[in-house]
Amino acid sequence: MMSKLAIILIIFLGAAALIASSAAYTVEEGTQVILTQFGNPVKSVPDAGLHFKTPFIQEAHHLEKRLLPWDGASESMQTKDKKRINIDVWARWRIVDPMTFFIKVRTEQQGQKILDNLVDSAIQNVVARHNLIDVVRKSNDELIYETEELERTEADRVLGQGRDDVEKEILAGVDLEEYGMELVRVRIKRVNYVASVREAVYKRMISERLRIARLFESEAQEDKNRIVGQTQKELDQIEGEMEQRSAEIRGEANAKVIQLTAEAYSRSPEFFEFLRRLEVFKTALGTDTRLILSTESDLLRLLKNPNASPLPSDQ
Amino acid sequence: MREVSDSNRLILHEEFRKMSSRKGFSNRRGGFGDRDDLDWDAAARWGRSGFFLLPILALLMAGWSSVYRIEASDEGVVLRFGKQVTTVPPGLHVKLPWPIDTVYEVPVQRIQTLEFGFETQRPGRVTQYAPKSEGDLAVAEMLTGDLNLGHVEWIVQYRVKDPLEFLFKVGNTEPIIGKALRPEGGSNVNPAVPDTIRDVSESVMRKLVGDSSIDYVLTIGREQIAEQAETLIQEELDSFEAGVDIDTVKLQTTSPPTEAVQDAFQEVNRARQKKEQVVNEALGERNSIIPAARGAKDQAIAEAEGYQNRVVLETKGEINAFLAQLTEYEKAPEVTRQRLYLEAMEEILSQTGEKIIIDDSVGGLVPLLDLNRRAAPSPQNRGTTSSQQNRGERP
């Protein structure tokens, strides 16, 4: 009898548990629930915790409340300036109106599919309206180079905010309101040339660098020549100054000599001349001089005639 | 360890549930089937064999699932019927049994690293890196502001700063409904967050590199780019309420896109250094020449000045000598003059090598007196002409 009672009890408890498990449901943090009655959505439950519904009749459908990712495939497309690029974009979205979302989209995967279509076409539209530079840059700020030789300002100008604008335009181009979804952010993840163009870019980069290398080489020669020339110039200047200065000093010295002697000798030019002549004779006539003297000369007159006047006749 | 015990616990729960429902069902069937026989003995036998152990087992399990441990660097987030009620620090804790309470263990202090463009295979004293895959290259290759291509590898390190935001603000579409939140513990609590950090980091890094020159990315701008990236990534993640704190962003390898391009960049460096070398050599040459020339100049000038001093002094000396002589001469001009003349003649005649004295009365060129030796015949007028020349030199 005891066992029979126990079995009845167990059956009762099982039934109660079955009803309870159908009546109670939990909503976890980060999720929300849509209650449906015979398939029709009747209530949205946004708050986490333990909730109750009509057992067996109502059904709870869980939906994400959190920010959800979307990552598009890398798409090849053409920019306004006819450059072919691969572009890879990600987005973040969330379910803002769970009721609408449940009716029109139902699951998050379906939501992704909607984004696939809408965002991809929005990207195509926006990219086709912009030049490549708008997708790459976000400002017209001067680019900083290691050497000024590389600085060329012929680069294309960015329209407005460049990449930021492109992202905003894509975001604005996707309207998800009717799906109960909100597109929170669109960002360009990757932009790159298509493979065939990439090779050409590598080649261009190489030639650009080699051009600079050659420039450096010829500049080296230029600088060297300039330094050598400058050195020669300074050298000439120094030597010129040297010649000039020493000539001036020597000239001054000689002038001083002339001035001094002129002053002194003008007191008796006749005596000076006399002394000088004697000096000249002394220095000019040496051991290698052959002297032919006449007995008629003043000096030797006495040799012939002791009575001759001892004084030179020409004085 | 912890993850294992968690999943064990889950499995046991599952087993228990399956077991109890199966027994209950077979019991019911047994009951219906035995309505005619009323084989109560069999039921009793069966009950004795273990039926009454089940509630005890259930109690044990409930007790066991109520005790849990939070690791030292983690924080526990407790949910009651899915609603967050409290967070608990590391240590041993008690909760209401499953399915009432669930606990997420979030590593709040652990710094986690995301690698971009490369993959560490085995960290260690000599860290091993995985060979670069297509995916790595796609992450690392990016357009620069001058429409060149660069190769940039970087890391992002982050920590969980708000476990609630970390768990419940950013989601993932892969495991949805019921599976989305699983108390797994460990670093994989909410994989949507690192995915989001990856996405944000890639777009931020490209945005910064896309607004820089290739030179800036490769050399001078590395630190600045990393710094700005950290700020921008943090801002974006905060706007998503991802609940993480970006600790560091560091650029690793930054290089030209291919080997060949890299060589060309090296060529520029080489040429630049060569240029410096050539210029330095020329300057060295110049530095060795110019000071020597300056020295030579100073020397020449000093010599000229020396000459100046010397000739002026000499002249002054001569003048003084002359003036002294003049004073004496003026006292007795005729005699002095004669004396000076004769003294000079004496000196001259004594030092000249060859002297020929001719006399008019002798006639012709016959020498009268040869003082030293026999001389060769010479024209008579030679002496006079030389004497005239001498006179002509002095005014």
Contact A287 B352 (CB under 8 A): yes
Stretch B12-32: mean pLDDT, rounded?
42
Q: Lowest-confidence range among A156-165, A175-184, B161-170, B279-288?
A: A156-165
DSSP-derived 3-state class of residue A288: coil
Predicted complex ipTM: 0.75
- For residue B239, pLDDT beyond 70: yes
Stretch A179-200: mean pLDDT, rounded?
93
Find, in chain B, the residue whose alpha carbon is nearest to that of A301.
B359
pLDDT of the residue at B55? 79
Greater model confidence, B186 or A72: A72
Contacting residues for A60 by C-beta, under 8 A, at least 6 apart: A25, A33, A34, A35, A45, A51, A53
- For residue A100, pLDDT beyond 90: yes
pLDDT of the residue at B11? 44
pLDDT of the residue at B391? 39
Q: Which residues of A fall within a CB distance of 8 Å from B332?
A: none
Q: Assign A21 a pLDDT band (cuts: 50, 70, 90).
A: confident
Greater model confidence, B265 or B368: B265
Domain spans, chain A: 20-64, 68-193, 199-267, 269-315
- For residue A285, pLDDT beyond 50: yes
pLDDT of the residue at B370? 53
Q: Which residues of B fall within a CB distance of 8 Å from A187?
A: 199-200, 203
**Looking at the complex, does the CB of residue B293 fall below 8 Å from at least one CB of chain A?**
yes
DSSP-derived 3-state class of residue A95: strand
Q: Assign A206 a pLDDT band (cuts: 50, 70, 90).
A: very high
Q: Lowest-confidence range among A247-261, B24-38, B84-98, B199-213?
A: B24-38
Stretch A66-77: mean pLDDT, rounded?
91
- pTM, two decimal places: 0.69
**Structural domain A68-193, CATH architecture:** 2-Layer Sandwich (3.30)
**Looking at the complex, does the CB of residue B365 fall below 8 Å from at least one CB of chain A?**
no
- For residue B42, pLDDT beyond 90: no
pLDDT in tens, B320-365: 888 888 888 888 888 888 888 888 888 888 887 777 777 766 655 5
For residues B6-44, b (16+ Cβ closer than 10 Å) or e, as one string? beeeeeebeeeeeebeeebeebeeebeeeeeeeeeeebe
Q: Which residues of A fall within a CB distance of 8 Å from B303?
A: 246
B142 to each of A12, A134, A137, A245, B168, how far by Cα in Å? 68, 15, 12, 68, 33
pLDDT of the residue at A234? 92
Lookup: tokens for A102: 């449940």
Stretch A220-234: mean pLDDT, rounded?
93
Contact A69 B274 (CB under 8 A): no
Average pLDDT, chain B: 78
- For residue B19, pLDDT beyond 50: no
Contact A28 B181 (CB under 8 A): yes
pLDDT of the residue at A260? 87
Task: Report B:112-131 residues touching A (Cβ under 8 A).
Answer: none
pLDDT of the residue at A275? 84
Q: Which residues of A fall within a CB distance of 8 Å from B351?
A: 282, 285-287
pLDDT of the residue at B393? 36
pLDDT of the residue at B383? 41
For residues B154-181, b (16+ Cβ closer than 10 Å) or e, as one string? bbbebbbebbbbbbbbbbbbeebeeebb
Stretch B115-135: mean pLDDT, rounded?
87
A193 to each of A75, A136, A201, B137, B393, how far by Cα in Å? 11, 11, 9, 14, 98
Q: How far is A28 from chain B (nearest CA, A)?
A: 4
Contact A292 B359 (CB under 8 A): no
Q: How far is B47 from chain A (nearest CA, A)?
A: 8
pLDDT of the residue at B129? 87
Greater model confidence, A123 or B360: A123
Task: Report B:206-245 residues touching A (Cβ under 8 A).
Answer: 206-207, 210-216, 218-221, 236, 239-241
pLDDT of the residue at B21? 43
- For residue A312, pLDDT beyond 60: no
Greater model confidence, B176 or B301: B301
Contact A29 B283 (CB under 8 A): no
Q: Assign B309 a pLDDT band (cuts: 50, 70, 90).
A: very high
Interface size A-B, in CB pairs within 8 Å, comes to 414
Q: How far is A310 from chain B (nearest CA, A)?
A: 9
Quote the percentage of chain B above a pLDDT of 90.
Answer: 37
pLDDT of the residue at B141? 93
- For residue B38, pLDDT beyond 60: no
